[in-house]
Amino acid sequence: MVMDMIHCMMAEKFPALLGIFIEDSGLLEHARSRLSREVLHSGATRPLESVALSRQIRAQSKQVRMDFEAAAANLGLPHTFEFTQGAFFDEIAMRVEGAESLVVALAADSIAVRRAWQAASEALSHASLQTLLLAREGWSKGTNVLVIVDELATAEVVLTVAGRLAEQSKSPMSLILTGQAGEHPEEIRNLLAGLNAIKNVPVQIAAGDALHADALVETIKRTHARMVALPWNQAIRDVTLIETLLNKSSSPVLLVK
Amino acid sequence: MESEFGSHPKRFGLDQLPAPLDTSKLRSHCDPEQFTFETTAELADLDGTFGQARALAALEFAMRMGGDGYNTYVLGRTGSHKHRLVQDYLKLESANRAPASDWCYINNFKDARKPLAIKLPAGHGIALRDDMANLVAELRESVPATFESEHYRNRVAEINQEFEDRHKAALKELQEAAEAEGMSLVQTPHGFAIAPTRDGKLLKDEEFDKLPEKKKTLAIEAIERMTEQLRKHFQELPGWQKIHRERVKELNREFTEMAVGRLIDQLEKKYREFPEINEYLIAVRQDVLENAADFQPRQEQEYELAGIKTDGSLSRYEVNVMVEHSQRTEAPVVYENNPSVQNLLGIVEHVQQFGALTTDFTMIRAGALHRANGGYLILDADRILTEPYAWSALKRTLFSKEIKIESLGQMLSIVSTVSLEPQPIPLDLKVILIGKRRIYYLLCELDSDFEDLFKVAADFEDVLDRSSENTQSYAQLIATLARREGVLAVSKAAMARIIEHSARLVADSEKLTTKMRDVSDLLREADYWARQRSAEVISDIHVQEAIDAQIKRLDRVRTRVHEEVLRNSILIDTEGAEIGQINGLSVLKVGSFMFGQPSRITATVRIGDGKIIDIERETELGGPIHSKGVLIVSSYLASRYAGETPMSFGASLVFEQSYGGVEGDSASVAETCALLSALARLPIRQTFAVTGSVNQHGKVQVIGGVNEKIEGFFDICAARGLSGEHAVLIPKDNVKHLMLRQDVVDAVAAGSFRIFAIDHIDEAIELLTGTVAGQRDANGEFPPESLNGAVNARLQALAKARRAFGLTERNGKVPD
């Protein structure tokens, strides 16, 4: 699914993919403490043992690699894969240099949303990075690409990226105008009319209130969004907004710079 | 004509003897002029049956008689067109009955191993099958469309979201609890791990060791509490997942019902008069609701196996139409010419998939009993009796009145693999067995079930009367056969010849054969010869040519035998006279061809105790009937001549140069005459041959093969040159059986051959010896100049000699 989205967003650019599996050093540190306890999905408990943990993580990474390479090959995208060990923040920061897009995939029951978001948003400060896609395993299959536009300055870039994705995936688009964009809907309409990327995409425009996380979650559910795209601007840099979206919604979040 | 024996005890003139038969008695001529047509092209087909009134009345009774066991055995000779007549009759009978019901097998959703049978009016089976196929096709589109609809996705998304939210909330709660406890909660590949922290960082072991005991205890207790919370969370998770699944399942049922409901409602309305189908549709609805996922596109499930296309599990909604009668307006008439168990009862087919045999209700195949159900089933008796277990299977089915499909392996309990047990289908039909008489009688005698199940015998006539009315109908029958065989039209002369031949086939001038296969063969072969001669119509010449060719193809043995007679390898006299020697007549059957030939029978006489030695019997070459004939001869002689004097002669009888066995009593007249000749020392004319059976009173009785026997002797005599002296003696009661060849009749007409019909042994011996037989006078004495007188005198002399021998034996003196 993630790969499909990448392909849709960047098909014309023929991107090369770098897949990274980060073995969190913090987790290994836990294993070194004799007080650590592991509670398994079956309900059983056992001490957290570092050798066994390393083995599990290696096995997991192999599976992830196989899945990544298969998906990339299927889409015809050139790709490489790396396995690394270290702090989440640091590893992302090191590799994002020169990248155009960052995709962070989280497990369905991940409890590291905040850390992931913090690392990812930090990475967005790099000049080369244009888009950030945050996705959780098992997201619901929505039908719309939901785009939030709150200012005119960033409208074109977010509409272009989201529009490309909508056209490639043959999805309609729901456009919520809020803030400054909400006050100038005609300009947005003119902008839409001039965008080649979405000339074949059905677009529904609605006005929305100021960006509130819970309201946005409700909008995602109501519009059956398969993804929500937002511009990366000051208003949206609010940590709790994105974190709330990731915690309370199943839709992937695409931030466009 | 005077006797050639010169002076002898008084011979009487042959004008006092029975006159030879007139030519009119030798062959019953069929006059073509009795027919009103020139060729059979002018005749209409014979409507209905002819000549089998008894059999057809029996058939009609059996077909219309209710109650158990009124099935029919049709018995008669092979070649009498029993099959055709039975089938023609049943076609008429079946037209008066409604078409039979359709029978289908459907899936039993409660137990797939026991498919259900349903009965429908004719034509409805296919309709149901097509309706179900259409239903599945529609469901294949509507069910996936339902699950792809936005409405469904939204509902599923809501349920999924609810579950996710709950899960996430629980995890968040755990995280917050961990933080509150001063713990770090992280994810591992198989779950979660917790460890104590201090100031937001992991507490190392050495740091922990430095803590006061109380703090250590608190930390350990906190770890235990968190561990317990996590465990509780994971224990609850399966319960949530189950609830989630059930809600999704319930949602699926709701949406499936939307897709399915209208379609099945329509079918239920259409079949509302059929409770079984409505029950079935209820089960279908339930099954579809529970297995909606099966209707999702599954391309990888479709595959071809042995030409059978399957699409995974959806075949369970098919309808297997076992028998259908949509094209029929009458009851079925089925002839099964290979009545094996599976051809009768049907079969459950299997297909091999990846090394295992699999089957389902769609692979049940109908047998003849299914196809004939509601109508009539025709079987050949000899075929069903020779097919392993077929006869017992048929009987079992008739007794139980239901058709139960079982393989031979299952019947014999040699196969224990689990297979289908299709619901038995009620049986309602009449069985008509066609076979030989011998089989019928054997079944009556040896099979105690037979007469319970086949109460009616339809006995086909072998012959019919050659009345003028029947002759006309027979001609029409032949015309019908000719058209059916596609042969040229038959002229009236040819028709007459065929009718004569028909009488010859049954060896009776007053009868006609009903073995129509022989007549059909003759027609076809006459047609062949006619076409060879570029004729447009079959004439009597072509018919004769066909008859001659048939004989020619088969008479190699006869030709060789006659040749050996003419070459004197086989000794047969046709001139002069001999004492104790006579030309008997016998018939040989080689395959389907029968021919007659003369046989020399000799008798010798000596002193003895009255016993006649039958050399054939002594050497075990004589059959029981032959032996009986000789014993009758012996009794006749004893009763005629013994009187108050014991029989003091011994005699021997033999068929000279016969090494292959003798049976029958048709030579007993000849044997008696040979003995009398030997006793009276009167020679028997060798220009004569004799055939006939004699009883204890000297009465001459009917024999078989009279035509062949006469012709056999005639051919030998004709080959050597007919003198006018040559003749054959036959029983008087055989005259009606005469249908001799035309050349024999012509020879008789020319006076060069004669045939005499005799009634008593005295007539035979008079003709053969030219001597009066003689009757007892008031004193019980035979005239001394008569043959009987001579026999008596000889017997007296032998008795005297025997007595003398006996006295000499006792006291050495020869009495005066």
Task: Check if B539 is active-site.
Answer: no
Domain CATH number, residue B333: 3.40.50.300
Task: Check if B416 is active-site.
Answer: no
**Residue B472 and residue B419 share a domain:** no
**Residues of chain A where predicted confidence (pLDDT) is lower than 70:** 1-14, 108-109, 137-143, 197, 210, 235, 238-239
Output the furthest CA–CA distance in chain B (Å, rounded): 170
- Here the contacts of A237-242 (C-beta below 8 Å, separation 24 or greater) are A237/A121, A238/A211, A239/A117, A239/A118, A239/A121, A240/A213, A241/A211, A241/A213, A241/A216, A242/A117, A242/A121, A242/A134
**Residue B335 and residue B351 share a domain:** yes
Q: What is the sign, positive or negative, of the torsion defined by CA atoms of B88, B94, B99, B103?
A: negative
On the CB side of B650, CA atoms within 13 Å amount to 8
Residue from B153, B167, B168 whose CB has the most chain A CBs within 10 Å, to mutate: B168
Helix axes B624-637, B668-680, angle to 10 degrees: 40
pLDDT at position A198 is 74
**Residue B645 and residue B717 share a domain:** yes
**More confident of the two residues B700 and B234:** B700
Give the span between the Cα atoms of A221 and A204, in whole angstroms: 16
Residue from A32, A39, A53, A113 whose CB has the most chain B CBs within 10 Å, to mutate: A39
Q: Which of A101, A85, A87 is closest to A6 using CA atoms?
A: A101
pLDDT at position B331 is 95
**Residue B504 and residue B594 share a domain:** no
Residue B589 has pLDDT above 80, yes or no: yes
**Residue B488 and residue B617 share a domain:** no
Residue B694's DSSP bridge partners are B700
What is the span of the domain harbouring residue B451?
84-100+328-459
Q: Domain for residue B195, yes or no?
A: yes
Residue B687 pLDDT class (50, 70, 90 cuts): very high
Domain CATH number, residue B526: 1.10.8.60
- CB-based contact, B174 to chain A, within 8 Å: yes
Identify whether the C-beta of residue B703 lies closer than 8 Å to the C-beta of residue B669: no
Give the span between the Cα atoms of B811 and B816, in whole angstroms: 14
Give the span between the Cα atoms of B626 and B662, in whole angstroms: 7
Q: Domain for residue B661, yes or no?
A: yes
Q: Domain for residue B137, yes or no?
A: yes
Give the span between the Cα atoms of A101 and B402, in whole angstroms: 76
**More confident of the two residues B345 and B144:** B345
Q: Domain for residue B687, yes or no?
A: yes
**More confident of the two residues B608 and B128:** B128
Annotated catalytic residue, options B509, B666, B668, B677:
B666
Q: Which of A210, A180, A175 is closest to A195 using CA atoms?
A: A175
**Residue B622 and residue B602 share a domain:** yes
* Number of independent structural domains in chain B: 4
pLDDT at position B10 is 44
**Residue B749 and residue B691 share a domain:** yes
pLDDT at position B305 is 47
Mean per-residue pLDDT for B782-787? Answer: 88
pLDDT at position B147 is 85
**The tokens of B600 are what?**
């020399």
pLDDT at position A210 is 59
Write down which residue in B491, B521, B554 finishes a domain. Answer: B554
Amino acid at B483: R
For the residues of B350-388, what is the DSSP string, one character each?
A: -EEETTEEE--GGGEE--HHHHHTTSEEEEEHHHHHHST
Q: Is A161 helix (H, G, I), strand (E, B) or coil?
A: helix
First to last CA, chain B: 44
Q: Domain for residue B66, yes or no?
A: no
pLDDT at position B5 is 33
For chain A, list residues whose CB is within 8 angstroms of any CB belonging to chain B: 24, 26-27, 29-43, 45, 48, 53, 56-57, 59-60, 107-112, 138, 140-143, 221, 224, 247-248, 250
Residue B812 has pLDDT above 60, yes or no: no
Residue B3 pLDDT class (50, 70, 90 cuts): very low
Residue B565 has pLDDT above 90, yes or no: yes
Residue B290 pLDDT class (50, 70, 90 cuts): confident
Least confident of A11-15, B589-593, B698-702: A11-15
Burial class (CB in 10 A: 0-12, 13-18, 19+), B498: buried
Q: Domain for residue B149, yes or no?
A: yes
Q: How confident is the model over B183-229, as pLDDT tens digits?
A: 888 888 888 888 888 887 888 888 888 989 998 898 889 888 888 98
Chain B residue with the nearest C-alpha to that of A136: B164
Domains of chain A: 2-136 (3.40.50), 144-256 (3.40.50.620)
Mean per-residue pLDDT for B700-719? Answer: 96
Q: How confident is the model over B316-337, as pLDDT tens digits?
A: 999 999 999 999 899 999 999 9
Q: Do B193 and A48 touch (CB under 8 A)?
A: yes
**Residue B479 and residue B446 share a domain:** no
| Among B156, B175, B227, beta carbon nearest to A37 | B227
Q: Do B230 and A29 touch (CB under 8 A)?
A: no
Residue B14 has pLDDT above 70, yes or no: no
Q: How confident is the model over A191-233, as pLDDT tens digits?
A: 888 887 677 888 888 888 757 788 888 888 777 787 888 888 7
Domain CATH number, residue B593: 3.30.230.10
Q: Domain for residue B335, yes or no?
A: yes
Q: Domain for residue B533, yes or no?
A: yes
**Residue B498 and residue B396 share a domain:** no
**More confident of the two residues B721 and B10:** B721
Residue B9 pLDDT class (50, 70, 90 cuts): very low
Residue B164 pLDDT class (50, 70, 90 cuts): confident
pLDDT at position B434 is 97
Write down which residue in B418, B439, B459 finishes a domain. Answer: B459
**Residue B747 and residue B686 share a domain:** yes
CB neighbours of B37 closer than 8 A, spacing ≥ 6?
A: B43, B475, B492
Annotated catalytic residue, options B82, B404, B430, B709:
B709
Residue B2 has pLDDT above 60, yes or no: no
Mean per-residue pLDDT for B696-711? Answer: 95
**Residue B596 and residue B735 share a domain:** yes
| Among A56, A108, A224, beta carbon nearest to B190 | A56
Count of helix runs (H) and strand runs (E) in chain A: 10, 11
pLDDT at position B6 is 33
Average pLDDT, chain B: 89
Give the span between the Cα atoms of A74 and A3, in whole angstroms: 10
Residue B4 pLDDT class (50, 70, 90 cuts): very low
Write down which residue in B524, B554, B584 finishes a domain. Answer: B554
Q: Which of A87, A82, A107, A103 is closest to A19 using CA atoms?
A: A82
The yes/no answer to whether this complex scores an ipTM above 0.90 is no
**Residue B611 and residue B507 share a domain:** no
Backbone angles phi, psi at A91, to 5 degrees: -65, -45
Q: How confident is the model over B432-483, as pLDDT tens digits?
A: 999 999 999 999 999 999 999 999 999 999 999 999 999 999 999 999 999 9
Q: How confident is the model over B54-99, as pLDDT tens digits?
A: 999 999 999 999 889 999 999 998 888 899 889 999 999 999 888 8
Residue B753 pLDDT class (50, 70, 90 cuts): very high
Burial class (CB in 10 A: 0-12, 13-18, 19+), B604: middle
